[in-house]
A = this chain, B = another copy of it.
Amino acid sequence: MKFTGFSRPALTPLALAALVSAAYAQTAAPALPDPASTTVQAMGWMQGFAPPPDKLITFDNPVGNTFPRIRWTFSHIRELVPTTNVWRGPGAPSPLQAAPVNLDQVRFKVMGTGEELSFAQSLERNYTDGIVVLHRGKIVYEKYFGALEPQRPHLAMSVTKSFVGTLAALLAHEGSIKPEAPVTAYLPEMKNTAYGDATVREVMDMTVGVKYSENYADPKAEIWDYARAGGMMPQGKDYAGPRSFYEFLQTLQKEGEHDQAFAYKTVNAELLAWIVRRASGKSLAQLLSERIWSRIGAEQDAYLMVDRIGTESGGGGLNTTLRDLARFGEMMRNGGRAADGQQVLPKAVVDDIRHGGNPAKFAKAGYATLPGWSYRNMWWVSNNANGAYSARGIHGQAIYIDPRAEMVVARYASHPLAANGANDPISLPMYQALADALIKQ
């Protein structure tokens, strides 16, 4: 069987790096793989017993699990690595009523280029695996592509962080976490690290001065060391580095000062997850199940990737169905109240999130696609006229909550580029156009 339906060789890490760099630098739009010919169906991954070698996806694949393989892997994470369950609880799911609105022809202009696209066109262009749009709590649009199905969890990537941040904010509200306290009050192990003189609040809002590069374009960036330590990437035969998230976190050293600028670094979320466990005495999976997942009427269990010693990845390891992600967003939109009327989160916790962080500190990070935004409790806050805020993950994962439009968008994707900046030029105006259309409903 020949490798067909793909007009160029699969992206190597270096080619990917070049593309990401171009996207970051906001240079001319890099040439991206053709979405239509790189779908899961077109590629034919993992078909047959056994799949032919050129259609096989394994965790230890020596050429890496980059695009277009991620179009399959993001919906099959648990088949590749150990995971732990996030139980939905014993109750019935909350109904999600369908009230379809034809949004396909909603049109908008791509940020930067000014190209006009319809919503329907944008879904393919952004390598969408699935999207659910809620308006006033009803499903106005729901579509799945490729490997994703309504009952199948998809990797949420850094959307995970917003769950960790929400749990931390909840524990802070209840008093079991003191945001102003030093990190070492919970984690004495972190004394001789970058976090030795940081506060919990600086971790929650990612204003920590720590030497750690999140630049996916750089093969030497610490993000890869982190991923290897947590078992999210193959460690290799002669690997001698840290073998758990906790071990890795204790290697981190200071760079710059705390509390000066927003600096998006996954290790902060991983560390916050550790603080949350110590403060609650519960694993992340258990706490997430007890305080959120079992209370929002979720249809399916969620799950979290775990490292060698069973520690969940709070930085990017959550997998959920799209509908349940939308239910979570809808609970946030309703000030912490679930569809059944239950107050899942105190309204003050939700308000603290949606009112955002310090825009001046955020601006220093220089996100070209996010003017005026801020970051609070691991959520991205637009500070726009509609008061929209978002959970964001690379390759296109998102919860986008627009309070004024009474809209929640949950989207999973497998964009070739590991950078939010790569799909923001389409995604952000698209969300706004949906909001504008739904406000008129």
Contacts and interface: CB of A to CB of B under 8 A. Distances in A.
Contact of A79 (B50, B82, B301): B82
A46 interface: yes
Grouping DSSP codes into helix (H, G, I), strand (E, B) and loop, the A interface class, with mixed when no group exceeds half, is loop
Interface in A29-51: 46, 49-51
- Taking residues whose C-beta sits less than 8 angstroms from the other chain, chain A's interface range is 35 or more
Contacts of A92: 92
Interface in A262-278: 274, 277-278
Contacts of A56: 309
A83 B78 contact: yes
A159 interface: no
A237 interface: yes
A244 interface: yes
Interface string A309-336: 1110000000000000000000000000
A224 interface: no
A114 to B, nearest CB: 44
A60 B246 contact: no
Copy tally for this chain in the complex stands at 2
Interface string A44-86: 0010011100001111100000000000000010111111110
A364 interface: no
B78 A85 contact: yes
A144 interface: no
A347 interface: no
A374 to B, nearest CB: 30
B79 A81 contact: no
A59 B79 contact: no
Nearest to A304: B79
Given A50-B309, A57-B310, A79-B310, 11 more contacts: A49-B311, A51-B310, A58-B308, A59-B82, A78-B82, A78-B84, A79-B82, A79-B83, A79-B84, A79-B306, A301-B301
21 contacts: A49-B277, A49-B283, A49-B311, A50-B244, A50-B246, A51-B310, A56-B309, A57-B310, A58-B308, A58-B309, A59-B82, A60-B308, A78-B78, A78-B82, A78-B83, A79-B306, A80-B82, A81-B82, A92-B92, A300-B301, A301-B301
List the 4 closest A-B pairs by CB distance, nearest first: A49-B277, A50-B246, A79-B84, A79-B310
